[in-house]
Amino acid sequence: MNLDALYSELTLKANAKLALVVLDGLGDVATREQGYVTPLEAAATPNLDALAKDSAQGRMFPLGPGITPGSGPGHLGLFGYDPLEYQVGRGVIEALGLGMELLPGDVCARANFATLDTKGVVTDRRAGRIPTETCEKLCAMLAAKVKKIGDTQILIQAGKEHRFVVVFRGKNLEGPLTDADPNREGFAIPTVKPRDPKNAGQNKMAKLIGDFYKLALPIIANEKPANGFLMRGIAHQPHLPLFEDRYKLKPAALAVYPMYKGLAQLVGMKKIEGPRTIKEQFERYLAEYDNFDFFFIHYKYPDKYGEDGNFPAKRKAIEEFDEALPILLRKKPDVLAITGDHSTPCVIKGHSWHPQPVLLHSPYSGCDKLERFTETGANCGSLGLFEAKYLIRLMQANARLFDKFGA
């Protein structure tokens, strides 16, 4: 029997409120240049500190040691889905990030406008990073002329700069496919192929991509510099077991950015629209307290400023979070977990592999004798270092939602 099956077997249905609060990119590293503190350590966080006194702490790695996850695997792990088992294509993630509403079976591709020479060789994979407005214009041109191929509907959505997304909505379509992208300049756009040559849906989809190129390339052939495009991460929206079935908890998502709403929706969480700030998110949590059992609350800014390498802004984002925290605590959930989906160290200016700190608070979490919630303190917490996919299992345990195993 595997562990996942055991968890299912032991899962009880009971009344409990659980809240998973994700400070995106929370973890950081203390370097000499930053005075040997992390933004979390440098921040004034009286409310987190008070909570830490009655909480357990630890550190989590999103996947294997050393692996840096994107937002997709980072969040799937937090939702308790093994990111290696449940892979979400980049096309799907991009589409979710642009706020597109996906249907089961949709195949998504992330695309770049690019520059091709007269022989069709890629000379600039990003077409000189054209302005977003140009991208929007080009996407509108494509969308106006390519609406359907056979019985398959084509949806095109512009992103930032040279980026856009193409969604194929039709019958019996499947991914993943190889990329229509040489991944470097000086080569022609390769023809996409099914990853599994025997898969009928992938074969149909590969042919569709070829047809799409035939129709779309002539439309922008005379544009400069974006006279071509590349497509990557072509895959269908994966079938994920529903969160509510898996944990017997009715889940809601309080996120501001589309990608996190989308990721929550992938596992069947109810998107709650409206709040624009962490204060508004917490206030909405209070209002929705009785309507759900599990709340996923996403706060973007530590990641955003970590990506910028902006230490003071990341610290301040954490302080603003801390200031809002008492709103949530007005109706304290039975179990509260505060963590990141990954680390985004300022020194890296991007996602990283460093384990993110986690704080777990419940009447049964105990106290780790730590005065604050910090990366360094979490190293000595009772939760140890563990895979992020187990956090939800610890939350279930702390909510007394597991039966005992064996006599």
Shortest gap between Cβ of 327 and a copy of itself (angstroms)?
Answer: 22
| 355 makes contact with a copy of itself (CB under 8 A) | yes
Of 8, 50, 67, 310, the residue at the interface with a copy of itself (CB under 8 A) is: 67
CA proximity to 42, closest of 32, 34, 51? 34
| 8 makes contact with a copy of itself (CB under 8 A) | no
Which residues lie closer than 8 Å to 144 by C-beta, 6 or more apart?
none
Helix (H) or strand (E) holding 109: strand 107-116
User: Within 70-109, which residues bind a copy of itself (CB under 8 A)?
Assistant: 70-73, 83-84, 87-88, 90, 93-94
Which of 5-13, 120-128, 163-171, 321-329 is the region at the interface with a copy of itself (rule: CB under 8 A)? 5-13
User: Within 215-274, which residues bind a copy of itself (CB under 8 A)?
Assistant: 233
| 1 makes contact with a copy of itself (CB under 8 A) | yes
Of 46, 144, 188, 364, the residue at the interface with a copy of itself (CB under 8 A) is: 364
Shortest gap between Cβ of 355 and a copy of itself (angstroms)?
Answer: 7
CA proximity to 93, closest of 233, 199, 228? 233
Which residues lie closer than 8 Å to 243 by C-beta, 6 or more apart?
79, 249, 251, 267, 268, 269, 294
Shortest gap between Cβ of 286 and a copy of itself (angstroms)?
Answer: 24
Shortest gap between Cβ of 52 and a copy of itself (angstroms)?
Answer: 12
Which of 128-136, 273-281, 310-318, 364-372 is the region at the interface with a copy of itself (rule: CB under 8 A)? 364-372
Q: CA 72, CA 93: separation in Å to the nearest integer?
A: 7
Tokens of 89: 């294509």
Shortest gap between Cβ of 297 and a copy of itself (angstroms)?
Answer: 21
In terms of phi and psi (left: phi > 0; alpha: psi -120 to 50; beta: otherwise), the region of 400 is left
Which of 111-119, 223-231, 308-316, 347-355 is the region at the interface with a copy of itself (rule: CB under 8 A)? 347-355
Of 352, 358, 372, 373, the residue at the interface with a copy of itself (CB under 8 A) is: 352
| 125 makes contact with a copy of itself (CB under 8 A) | no
Shortest gap between Cβ of 250 and a copy of itself (angstroms)?
Answer: 20
Tokens of 253: 């998502």
User: Within 127-146, which residues bind a copy of itself (CB under 8 A)?
Assistant: none
Shortest gap between Cβ of 2 and a copy of itself (angstroms)?
Answer: 8
Q: Distances from the Cα of 192 to the Cαs of 34, 118, 294, in angstroms?
A: 46, 21, 41
> Which letter does DSSP use for residue 26 in this model?
B
Shortest gap between Cβ of 85 and a copy of itself (angstroms)?
Answer: 8
What's the angle, vertex CA 154, arms to CA 236 and CA 243, rounded to 5?
A: 35
For residue 151, count other CB atoms closer than 10 A to its CB. Answer: 9
Which of 23-31, 182-190, 285-293, 309-317 is the region at the interface with a copy of itself (rule: CB under 8 A)? 23-31
Of 14, 44, 46, 64, the residue at the interface with a copy of itself (CB under 8 A) is: 64
| 22 makes contact with a copy of itself (CB under 8 A) | no
| 7 makes contact with a copy of itself (CB under 8 A) | yes
| 30 makes contact with a copy of itself (CB under 8 A) | yes
Tell me, rounded to whole angstroms, the distance of Cα 205 from its chain centroid. Answer: 25
Which residues lie closer than 8 Å to 23 by C-beta, 6 or more apart?
299, 302, 318, 321, 338, 339, 340
Nearer Cβ to a copy of itself, position 3 or 103?
3
Shortest gap between Cβ of 358 and a copy of itself (angstroms)?
Answer: 12
Evaluate whether 145 touches 261 at the Cβ level (below 8 Å).
no
CA proximity to 356, closest of 377, 341, 373? 341
Handedness of CA 312, 317, 323, 329 (dihedral sign): negative
In 34-172, which ranges are continuous DSSP H helix? 39-42, 46-52, 71-78, 90-97, 132-145
User: Within 371-390, which residues bind a copy of itself (CB under 8 A)?
Assistant: 375-376, 379-386, 390
Query: Tokens 């064996």 label which residue?
Result: 406
